[in-house]
A and B are shown apart, each in its own frame.
Chain A
Amino acid sequence: MKEKIKGIIKDILDIEESDIKDDALIVDDLGADSIAVMEIVMEIEDEFDVEIDTETIPNFKTINDIVAYLEK
């Protein structure tokens, strides 16, 4: 799951996968703007066939946060 999420983030932000550490901050460290975060969420929804409430998006600071949310 983590690898798939990293793949999505890599594609959207156009960065190297090796730069994407599990605890990297998606906005501050990886350079996503608020709309790129939305795009990441939308692709995760498609990939994992889930519906993510937009109100929970501000909680997704790192990849670990996203994984924890999806595992719940």
Chain B
Amino acid sequence: MKARIIDVGKYVPNLSISNEDFTKIMDTNNEWIVQRTGISSRHFSEINTSEMAYQAVLNLLENTKFNKEDIEIIIVCTCTPDAYSPSVANLVKKKLKLSKDIPSFDINAACSGFIYGLKVVQGLIESGLYQNIILVGSENLSKLLNFDDRSTAVLFGDGAGAILVQGSNQGIIDTLIYNKDDINGAINIPNGINIETPFTNNQCSGPAHIQMKGQDVFKFATKVCINMLKEIVVKNNLTFNDIKCIIPHQANLRIIEYAIKMLGINKDKFVITLESLGNTSSASIPIALDSIKKELKKGDKLIFVAFGGGLTYGVSLLEW
């Protein structure tokens, strides 16, 4: 039994913020951002992560005509939950108003979340435990941006993507996930979590914001992206000619272009959506998948590759 992606849905907030808009609140310019990142605009959400996830699931259900009552488990990948508890997945389940109690939980592997989610889904289906799973990547990153830090504020956007995965005779072929220690603190969302009781030495911190050492992240991201793509094709006795398309995590066009150059793969194979969406973390791959699903035919081989805070990274090879 394999885990097959049946269909995909997405939610992208209406509010689009251009690079030009950023020039009104900080010392930056369109040329700098486009040249260094490929990003021209991104969407910011006025609704929280769980509502975006729910909207993506509604879009998915509409696309598939799948009966929500047949969902057996809901998993949400996110590093920007609404609350410590309940989980975003719990909230999505509540919004769906299902008649049964089914399990739901979140996975946090930052921008690699969706690949980690696929690995879990693959295991749940291949083991025969579940047949109908909803996997969502949903992120409201704008709530964690530091608008005094121009090198991170311009990179991220909000959005959600959802897939329905079912047991089938074809589907996910192989998924690899890893975690390398982030020794230098290259990418973090620290703070906002205080240890504060009447009995302890209190450790209080400032507001939660994305912090990044851009060059360290760039280096890590390009290296693992290149190595993961090589590893998964070699391990499965394939070449890049066998692959219809590659969906990389949409962090920065320069990361993707560097990988393309080093691997010598045709750029047309790579799906790129970051120009108008920015980096939507664990939502970036399902949203990008949604953008090309009409071009996919049964049996096409795809690769998803992602990297992010943690430092997490992973890659998935599958048959559509």
User: Are B219 and A42 closer than 8 Å at their CB atoms?
Assistant: yes
Size of the A side of the interface (Cβ < 8 Å), in residues, is 8
Is there an interface contact between B36 and A38, defined as CB atoms closer than 8 Å? Answer: no
Q: Are the C-beta atoms of A33 and B36 separated by less than 8 Å?
A: yes
Q: Considering residues B35, B36, B258, which has the most beta carbons from chain A within 10 angstroms of its beta carbon? A: B258
C-beta contact mask, A29-72 vs B, less than 8 Å → 1, else 0?
A: 00001110011001000000000001001000000000000000
Asked if A38 and B35 sit within 8 Å, CB to CB, the answer is no
Contacts of B215 in A (CB 8 A): 34, 38, 54, 57
Is A35 a contact partner of B213 (Cβ separation < 8 A)? no
A38 and B218 CA atoms in complex are apart in Å by 8
The answer to whether A34 touches B219 (Cβ under 8 A) is: no
Which B residues lie within 8 Å of A34 (CB)? 36, 215
Name the distance in Å between A55's Cβ and chain B's nearest Cβ.
Answer: 9
Smallest Cβ distance from B280 to chain A, in angstroms? 21
The reply to whether the CB of B300 lies closer than 8 angstroms to some CB of chain A is no
Q: Is the CB of A33 within 8 A of B35?
A: yes
CA distance A42 to B219 in the complex (A): 7
- B111-170 residues with Cβ-Cβ distance < 8 A to A are none
Q: Convert B189-230 into 0s and 1s, putting 1 for each residue whose CB lies closer than 8 angstroms to a CB of A.
A: 000000000000000000000000101101100110000000
Closest to A54 in B: B215
B254 within 8 A of A: yes
Cα(A57)–Cα(B219), bound, Å: 12
A residues near B218, Cβ cutoff 8 Å: 35, 38
Residues of A within 8 A of B258 (CB): 39, 42
In contact, A35 and B36 (Cβ under 8 angstroms):
yes
Query: Across the interface, which residues of A come within 8 angstroms of B219, CB to CB?
Result: 38, 42, 54
A interface vs B, CB < 8 Å? 33-35, 38-39, 42, 54, 57
Q: Which 7 A-B pairs have the closest CB atoms?
A: A54-B215, A35-B254, A54-B216, A38-B218, A35-B36, A38-B215, A39-B258
Q: List 6 A-B contacts (CB under 8 A).
A: A34-B215, A39-B258, A42-B222, A42-B258, A54-B216, A57-B215
16 new A-B contacts, CB < 8 A, other than A34-B36, A34-B215, A38-B219, are: A33-B35, A33-B36, A35-B36, A35-B218, A35-B254, A38-B215, A38-B218, A39-B258, A42-B219, A42-B222, A42-B258, A54-B213, A54-B215, A54-B216, A54-B219, A57-B215
